[in-house]
């Protein structure tokens, strides 16, 4: 178990989580922190299963060497795709030396989106059977007369009420009737229920009744898994907590077997280390924790890219960075401040709210495959619909006829035509043929103008998303460094910089697989939260800290119960309070330390509030939720960043016709292999490497930069 | 771009008593302007305006103090150009859609016109005849300057918990002066400086001054943030290109809606209904709507209605126009965030001095009741031309407003919210279970656990009502049953509007159930209420709210027996209900 007390101590300053105070508080107990795995003989492997590709990154902690690989995802049995990537990219001796295999998976997500999970029964308080179906009474689209909510995860006949009641202050108003639980169990048995979710009203304030339910279910012969709402979430809002608990019961059925199959497959290949699973809120869980709390992993997909950006920003000494990840179907963006990932405490998947920490990565439907069209009113529009992998962009020659962002980029010379990884041949004539018919309906002169428009509109979508994540946190995007990655990210760096008024874009080496780097940065993280509504006073703060202490104890007990040990030597405890002005609903999370006074906490809250909202107010504050988090690092310290491909084979510079958005026309230019770019070079040009292409417009200069990156800067006169 | 017939919304002077008809039309004159604007930049500007409006919405909800703003989303945020045409509105309270143009115009006139505005100004305006609402719905208008020139306005209209008036929420006012303190366009901030006198006037006139002040701060911060985002867009493209793009954007929105109407058969479509009561006289108030579709334009005629009523169900013109726009947007808007262009194909006819065009000092606190009813009737009328139109929904927002003083501390408290209704069935399928009424469709029901943590209540039941959905080939959505046990003494205003007319079915579908409210007092007496102000509730009183369900579509005999069996199995209907309405399926 990673938390078994002799986990290697991690040096301070790791990217992704490390900041000064936290690192300083890391306990230094050298006696128990000797790495168990042979020194200098270790690898960490990260595998991220995406919708189209499975990315693998392997890091040798001794040599610092990083290997990356890309394999097609195998949706029917994702573990096979993972093992295939391992077989292809990791030599057996390297796998045998692997201490941590960090896995990012969409198995839970897909189970939820495709509604393939356990048959779940729900036990709830009398009078509240329909919470799951009433939801919050709102519509996803307020102007859609016909909008209907998705069917509830638990059908009405499997939602059973029991007589009991706890008040908001935790007092018992009515004792639990165990007979009601037994009646529910009889229904569940008759209906073939696999797993039961128990959500009693106000259980966040007093969980005694919820705790009594599993025994009553067992007495009645129910042998399946039971999820209790106060263990899953501990926060108030019965619809959100019910959904989270039901999702937990629903996906656990699939996640456990999947993870154990993968673990067995790895061990059969000689793996002796630990399998870890990435978490929606950043960091990673052990296999046992992930199998037991799968809802914590559901939104982990886009986190790796943000974590990799945090790591790179720290290495470059940039305090504020914006992750700009352009993939096939979406643009994902996150704001990184001082190396810390932005956290939220409620997410949403497929219209279902989840009370779980998640990294605030915003997605918009603008990627390489986004389809361009002219709407009924005669305006050119881009996305959110994507041509996907099949048929894909028109230029793939696989039957697609609708123009996409990739077609526009190819037509404009931003991507060189010719063979692409995976046996696809990019055909510019097909791209042009798809773009040209859009010109007349929206009054544009021809395919050039359409292609230019598609790129600018897609970039504007992306820029709006970036403004959302920055302005809401009181950050001016012009002061941040943009980190452009993903297959299509480096194509958009200059356009995004233009839209946002940013002056610098950094393109990491191997930008196409940069996200996977974030996997091998993961800390081990676990957290618990509990709603505790109190006015912020010194006494209430003391109560909150005591509650946090109890949550920590529970975290370690939970772990010990699953085969882990006590608190690891280098574990860092973090306590956050959700605070608000008395009367408000929305909260801001503020870090607290033992010994803090209410006044000190208030000052921190006020500073954050003022920065985010531009004003502050007198009046009392209120504590809403107490959050306890434990994190411990993986061995080996911060991972080195990937270097560009070896300089040995620079390839050829080629002359191309390249569109300049700055000059609004094609200009004679060059496609330069990455390895051949050795000095600052003014645009327009494109820099080519195997997994991505960096476009540099006229008015911008590109230069090799620290950590193997390219730095694209805007010339003053174009500002 | 000016309205063909601009409405002088701030004054009571007009033509003769009840005579004449006013046409409110916003058609653009001459050839479509902006045709030469770059379509790419136009699309980017359009997106940018919508994104900026969304940003303003988030800034408000995240800092607001009253649940009616952050949970119920009882507000609208929008940008208007200097011709008072709507640049963008975030998806907020649909009932406020397009009301803000009247309001911005009146607010600016109130402080002396555009020439009196300076950067840093914030205008406060809540005159019901200009906002279209009750005085609780107060607007903050921020003039947006770009390059030193007045370019646009950002505006937030939001529901304040209390701004005076005879009660925090009234169903029985006799004139507008009983409804709240009126700010007829005053500067709350003058060139960036808080006007202390106005601020103290607000404080002195609210039962919930602390929360109102918190909401004011949130509104000012939100409107300013929106204004900055808008100014950044104008600065990026320059005033000339921005203006051209906006003109093309309006033409685009207009074309979308005109195309939709062009596809409808021309004709005159009518529907009639009756409002339960005006809140004072207790008798039903009938009216009808006449919708004329002619080529690519549509006209809604609301002149066939009673003169303005003694009780507060009069709907000021801005909200009458908004209700018609909303009905149109639901049908023809293609799910887009609307701008001024979307509204241009629509003309609204009203009769000054009547229910839908009242004159000062007619009371209008419950203006939403006729507005919601008008939406239902416009949809019902158009059903003849648009087969997809669903049967009636529960048809009401079921607003309840509660207040009192906490026993332990003496602190005043208030809470209020709309509640979801069953949706009408349509040719596309069964109606959805309880969703907020169309005019409040972005609103969210507050969780019982949040209510119990905040208010002296225990929620004893929050359930879908069995057997309530109107029978049909497609079944209406069930209404909601909610029971509140009062743990301390307090007051309730019940603003239920649709307890006498059952939600109608369509094409042979049966009606659903109407809404209702029952109070069981601790002494054993039981009362039924609909529109009633300040109902005293003693400790251990229980309030049962039943919200309306949806009507059915098509004859019940056509319902798939398997669907009937499934409804039985899941407990949406009982055996008895199935025997009565669906004998073919048993």
| Bigger pLDDT: A619 vs B345 | B345
B459 pLDDT above the threshold of 80: yes
- Which residues from chain B sit within 8 angstroms of residue A155, using beta carbons? 570
pLDDT band (50, 70, 90) for residue A631: confident
Q: What is the 3-state secondary structure (H, E, C) of A408-440?
A: HHHHCCCCCCEEECCCEEECHHHHHHHHHHHCH
Chain A contact for B367 (CB, 8 A cutoff): no
A625 shares a domain with A589: yes
Q: How far is residue A218 CA from its own chain's centroid?
A: 37
B394 shares a domain with B248: no
Residue B511: what are its φ and ψ, rounded to 5°? -70, 155
Element of type H or E holding B319: helix B317-332
Number of domains in chain B: 2
Instruction: Write out the DSSP string of B238-278.
Output: -HHHHHHHHHHHHHHHHHHHHHHHHTSPPEEEEEEEEES--
A240 shares a domain with A259: no
Q: What is the mean pLDDT of residues A635-647?
A: 55
Angstroms from A491 CA to nearest CA on chain B: 19
Q: Do A146 and B259 make contact, defined as CB atoms within 8 angstroms? A: no
Residue A122 and residue A199 in contact, taking contact as beta carbons nearer than 8 Å: yes
- Which residues from chain B sit within 8 angstroms of residue A131, using beta carbons? 462
Q: What is the ipTM of this complex?
A: 0.91
Strands B184-190 and B149-159, by their bridges, are: unpaired
Q: Do B253 and A377 make contact, defined as CB atoms within 8 angstroms? A: yes
A563 shares a domain with A579: yes
Domain span holding position B497: 390-586
| Bigger pLDDT: B16 vs A443 | A443
First to last CA, chain A: 54
Which of A122, A141, A143, A580 best tests the B interface by mutation, with the highest count of B CBs <10 A? A143
Q: How far is residue B212 CA from its own chain's centroid?
A: 21
Q: Extract the tokens encoding A66.
A: 């990083």
Q: What is the mean pLDDT of chain A?
A: 85
Q: Which residue of B has its CA nearest to A619?
A: B210
Residue B38 and residue B16 in contact, taking contact as beta carbons nearer than 8 Å: no
| Bigger pLDDT: A218 vs B253 | A218
Q: Extract the tokens encoding B429.
A: 């399928």
Q: Of B10-14, B292-296, B426-430, B571-575, which range is least confident?
A: B10-14
Using CB atoms, pick whichever of A147, A148, A583 lies closest to residue B211.
Answer: A583
Residue A17: what are its φ and ψ, rounded to 5°? -135, -25
Predicted pLDDT at B523: 97
A232 shares a domain with A151: yes
What does DSSP assign to residue A201? T
Which of B32, B62, B89, B567 best tests the A interface by mutation, with the highest count of A CBs <10 A? B62
B211 shares a domain with B63: yes
Strands A481-485 and A320-326, by their bridges, are: parallel
Which of these three, A440, A456, A472, is where a domain ends? Answer: A456
Angstroms from B82 CA to nearest CA on chain A: 24
B502 pLDDT above the threshold of 60: yes
Using CB atoms, pick whichever of A142, A378, A581 lies closest to residue B442.
Answer: A142
Q: Do A149 and B432 make contact, defined as CB atoms within 8 angstroms? A: yes
Residues sharing a CB contact under 8 Å with residue B536, sequence separation 6 or more, in sequence order: B489, B491
Q: Quick check: is A528 in a domain?
A: yes
Q: Extract the tokens encoding B19.
A: 């005579």
Predicted pLDDT at A634: 67
3-state SS, residue A321: strand
Q: Do A148 and B330 make contact, defined as CB atoms within 8 angstroms? A: no
A505 pairs with which residues across the strands?
Answer: A482, A712
Q: Quick check: is B367 in a domain?
A: no
pLDDT one-digit tens code per residue, B259-301: 888 989 999 999 999 999 999 998 999 999 999 999 999 999 9
Instruction: Give CA–CA dist A125/B463, Å, rounded.
Output: 12
Chain A contact for B568 (CB, 8 A cutoff): no
Instruction: Give CA–CA dist B365/B442, Å, rounded.
Output: 22
pLDDT one-digit tens code per residue, B16-43: 344 589 999 876 654 555 667 889 999 9
**Interface contacts A/B by beta carbons within 8 Å:** 213
Number of domains in chain A: 5
% of residues, chain B, pLDDT over 90 = 73
Interface of B with A in 102-161 (CB under 8 A): none
A533 shares a domain with A620: yes
Chain A contact for B221 (CB, 8 A cutoff): yes
Instruction: Write out the DSSP string of A593-651.
Output: -TT--HHHHHHHHHHHHHHHHS----S-EEEEEEEEEEEEPPTTSSPPPPPPSPTT---
Which of these three, B221, B236, B252, is where a domain ends? Answer: B252
Instruction: Give CA–CA dist A625/A578, Å, rounded.
Output: 5
Which of B63, B390, B406 best tests the A interface by mutation, with the highest count of A CBs <10 A? B63
Residues sharing a CB contact under 8 Å with residue B115, sequence separation 6 or more, in sequence order: none
A671 pairs with which residues across the strands?
Answer: A654, A686
Angstroms from B436 CA to nearest CA on chain A: 5
pLDDT band (50, 70, 90) for residue A88: confident
CATH number of domain containing A166:
3.40.50
Which of these three, A422, A456, A490, is where a domain ends? Answer: A456
Q: Extract the tokens encoding A204.
A: 């966040």
pLDDT one-digit tens code per residue, A138-184: 888 877 888 899 899 999 999 999 999 999 999 999 999 999 999 99
Cis peptide before A685 (omega within 30 of 0): no
Instruction: Write out the DSSP string of A260-279.
Output: HHHHHHHHHTT--SEEEEE-
Chain A contact for B59 (CB, 8 A cutoff): yes
Predicted pLDDT at A29: 29
Instruction: Write out the DSSP string of A528-547.
Output: EEEEEEEE--HHHHHHHHHH
CATH number of domain containing A605:
3.30.1490
Predicted pLDDT at A222: 96
Domain span holding position A278: 20-111+254-297
Chain A contact for B572 (CB, 8 A cutoff): yes
| Bigger pLDDT: A647 vs B268 | B268
Q: What is the mean pLDDT of chain B?
A: 91
Q: Quick check: is B77 in a domain?
A: yes
Q: Quick check: is B419 in a domain?
A: yes
Q: Quick check: is B46 in a domain?
A: yes
**pTM, full prediction:** 0.87
Strands B516-520 and B542-546, by their bridges, are: antiparallel
Q: Do A533 and B436 make contact, defined as CB atoms within 8 angstroms? A: no
pLDDT one-digit tens code per residue, A581-609: 887 777 888 999 888 999 999 999 998 88
CATH number of domain containing A40:
3.30.420.40
Instruction: Give CA–CA dist A340/B191, Å, rounded.
Output: 39
Predicted pLDDT at A8: 28
- Which residues from chain B sit within 8 angstroms of residue A442, using beta carbons? 39
A610 shares a domain with A709: no
């Amino acid at each position: 178990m990673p938390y078994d007390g002799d986990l290697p101590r991690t040096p301070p300053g790791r990217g992704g989580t490390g900041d000064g105070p936290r690192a300083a508080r890391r306990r230094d107990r050298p006696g128990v922190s000797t790495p168990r795995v042979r020194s200098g003989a270790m690898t960490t492997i990260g595998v991220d299963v995406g919708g189209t590709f499975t990315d693998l990154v392997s890091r040798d902690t001794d040599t610092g060497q990083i290997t990356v690989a890309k394999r097609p995802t195998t949706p029917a049995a994702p573990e096979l795709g993972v093992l295939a990537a391992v077989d292809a990219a990791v030599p057996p001796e390297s796998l045998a030396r692997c201490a941590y295999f960090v896995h990012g998976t969409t198995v839970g997500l897909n189970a939820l989106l495709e509604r393939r999970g356990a048959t779940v029964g729900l036990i709830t308080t009398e009078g509240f059977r329909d919470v799951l179906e009433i939801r919050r009474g709102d519509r996803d689209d307020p102007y859609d007369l016909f909008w209907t909510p998705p069917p509830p995860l638990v059908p009405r006949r499997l939602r059973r009420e029991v007589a009991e009641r706890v008040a908001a202050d935790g007092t018992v108003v009515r004792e639990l009737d165990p007979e009601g639980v037994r009646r529910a169990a009889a229904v569940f048995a008759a209906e073939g229920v696999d797993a039961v979710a128990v959500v009693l009203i106000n259980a966040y304030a007093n969980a005694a009744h919820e705790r009594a339910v599993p025994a009553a279910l067992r007495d009645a012969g129910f042998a399946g898994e039971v999820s209790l709402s106060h263990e899953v979430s501990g926060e108030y809002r019965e619809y959100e907590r019910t959904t989270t608990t039901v999702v937990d019961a629903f996906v656990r059925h699939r996640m456990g077997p999947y993870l154990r199959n993968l673990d067995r497959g790895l061990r059969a290949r000689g793996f002796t280390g630990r399998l870890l699973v990435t978490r929606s809120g950043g960091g990673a869980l052990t296999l046992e924790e992930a199998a037991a709390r799968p809802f914590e992993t559901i939104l982990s997909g886009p986190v790796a890219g943000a974590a990799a950006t945090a790591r790179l920003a720290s290495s470059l000494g940039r305090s504020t960075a914006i992750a700009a990840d352009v993939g096939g179907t979406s643009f994902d963006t996150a704001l990184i401040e001082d190396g810390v990932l932005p956290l939220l405490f409620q997410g949403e998947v497929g219209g279902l709210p989840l009370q779980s920490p998640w990294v605030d990565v915003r997605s918009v439907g603008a990627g390489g495959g986004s389809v361009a069209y002219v709407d009924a009113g005669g305006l050119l529009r881009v996305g959110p619909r994507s041509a996907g992998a099949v048929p894909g962009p028109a230029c793939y020659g696989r039957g697609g006829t609708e123009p996409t962002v990739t077609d526009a980029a190819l037509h404009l010379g931003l991507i060189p035509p010719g063979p692409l990884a995976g046996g696809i041949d990019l055909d510019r004539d097909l791209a042009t043929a798809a773009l040209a018919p859009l010109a007349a309906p929206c009054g544009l002169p021809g395919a050039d103008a359409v292609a230019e428009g598609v790129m600018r509109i897609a970039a504007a979508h992306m820029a709006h998303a970036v403004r959302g994540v920055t302005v809401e946190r009181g950050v001016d995007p012009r002061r941040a460094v943009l980190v452009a990655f993903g297959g299509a990210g480096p194509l958009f760096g200059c356009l995004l910089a233009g839209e946002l008024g940013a002056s610098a874009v950094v393109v990491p080496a191997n930008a196409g697989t940069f996200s996977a780097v974030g996997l091998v940065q993961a800390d081990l993280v676990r957290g618990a939260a509990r709603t505790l509504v109190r006015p912020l006073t010194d006494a209430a703060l003391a109560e909150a800290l005591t509650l946090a202490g109890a949550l920590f104890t529970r975290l370690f007990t939970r772990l010990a119960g699953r085969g882990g040990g006590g608190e690891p030597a280098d574990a860092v405890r973090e306590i956050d309070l959700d605070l608000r002005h008395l009367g408000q609903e929305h909260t801001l999370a503020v870090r607290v330390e033992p010994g803090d006074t209410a006044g000190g906490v208030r000052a921190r809250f006020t500073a954050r509030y003022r920065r985010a909202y531009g004003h502050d107010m007198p009046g009392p504050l209120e504590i809403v939720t107490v959050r306890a988090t434990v994190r411990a690092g993986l061995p080996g310290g911060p991972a080195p960043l990937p270097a560009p491909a070896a300089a040995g084979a620079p390839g050829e510079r080629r002359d191309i016709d390249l569109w300049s958005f700055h000059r609004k026309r094609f200009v004679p230019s060059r496609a330069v292999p990455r390895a051949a770019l050795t000095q600052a070079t003014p645009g327009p040009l494109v820099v080519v490497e195997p997994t991505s292409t960096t476009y540099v417009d006229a008015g911008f200069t590109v230069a090799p930069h620290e950590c193997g990156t390219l730095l694209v800067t805007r010339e003053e006169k174009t500002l | 771009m000016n309205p063909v017939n601009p409405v002088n919304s701030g004054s009571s002077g007009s033509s003769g008593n009840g005579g004449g008809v006013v046409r409110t039309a916003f058609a653009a004159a001459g050839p479509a302007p902006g045709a030469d604007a770059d379509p790419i930049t136009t699309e980017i500007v359009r997106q940018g305006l919508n994104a900026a409006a969304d940003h303003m919405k988030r800034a408000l909800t995240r800092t607001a103090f009253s649940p009616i703003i952050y949970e119920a989303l009882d507000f609208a945020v929008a940008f208007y150009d200097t011709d008072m045409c709507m640049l963008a509105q975030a998806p907020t309270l649909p009932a406020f859609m397009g009301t803000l143009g009247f309001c911005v115009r009146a607010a600016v006139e109130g402080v002396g016109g555009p020439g009196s505005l300076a950067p840093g100004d914030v205008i406060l305006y809540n005159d019901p005849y200009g906002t279209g609402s009750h005085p609780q719905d107060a607007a903050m208008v921020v003039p947006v300057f770009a390059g030193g020139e007045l370019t646009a306005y950002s505006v937030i209209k939001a529901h304040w918990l209390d701004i005076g008036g005879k009660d925090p929420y009234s169903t029985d006012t006799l004139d507008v002066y009983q409804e709240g303190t009126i700010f007829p366009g005053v500067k709350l901030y003058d060139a960036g400086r808080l006007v202390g006198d106005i601020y103290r006037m607000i404080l002195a006139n609210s039962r919930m001054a602390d929360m109102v002040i918190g909401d004011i701060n949130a509104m000012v911060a939100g409107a300013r943030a929106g204004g900055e985002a808008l100014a950044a867009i104008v600065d990026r493209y320059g005033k000339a290109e921005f203006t051209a793009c906006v003109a093309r954007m309006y033409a685009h929105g207009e074309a979308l809606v005109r195309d939709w109407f062009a596809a409808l058969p021309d004709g005159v479509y009518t529907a009639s209904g009756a409002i339960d009561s005006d809140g004072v006289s207790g008798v039903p108030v009938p009216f009808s709507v006449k919708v004329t579709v002619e080529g690519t334009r549509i006209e809604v005629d609301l002149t066939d209605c009673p003169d303005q009523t003694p009780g507060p169900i009069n709907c000021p013109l801005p909200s009458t126009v908004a209700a018609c726009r909303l009905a149109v947007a639901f049908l023809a808007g293609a799910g887009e965030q609307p701008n001024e262009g979307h509204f241009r194909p629509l003309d609204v006819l009203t009769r000054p001095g009547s229910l839908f065009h009242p004159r000062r000092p007619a009371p209008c606190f419950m203006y939403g009741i006729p507005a919601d009813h008008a939406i239902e009737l416009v949809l019902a009328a158009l059903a003849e031309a648009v087969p997809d139109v669903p049967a009636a929904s529960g048809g009401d927002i079921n607003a309840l407003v509660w207040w009192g003083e906490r026993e332990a501390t003496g602190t005043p408290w208030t809470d209020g919210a709309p509640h979801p209704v069953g949706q009408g069935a349509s040719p596309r399928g069964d109606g959805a279970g309880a969703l907020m009424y169309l005019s409040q469709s972005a609103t969210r029901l507050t969780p019982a656990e949040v209510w119990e943590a905040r208010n002296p209540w225990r929620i004893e039941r929050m359930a879908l009502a069995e057997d309530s959905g109107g029978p049909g080939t497609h079944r209406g959505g069930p209404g909601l049953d909610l029971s509140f046990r009062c743990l301390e003494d307090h007051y309730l205003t019940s603003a239920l509007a649709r307890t006498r007319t059952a939600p109608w079915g369509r094409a042979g579908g049966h009606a659903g159930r109407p809404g209702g409210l029952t109070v069981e007092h601790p002494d054993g007496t039981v009362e039924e209420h609909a529109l009633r102000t300040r109902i005293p509730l003693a400790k251990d009183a229980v309030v049962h709210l039943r919200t309306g369900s949806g009507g059915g579509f098509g004859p019940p005999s056509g319902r798939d027996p398997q669907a009937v069996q499934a409804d039985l199995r899941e407990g949406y209907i009982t055996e008895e209900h199935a025997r009565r309405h669906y004998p073919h399926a048993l």
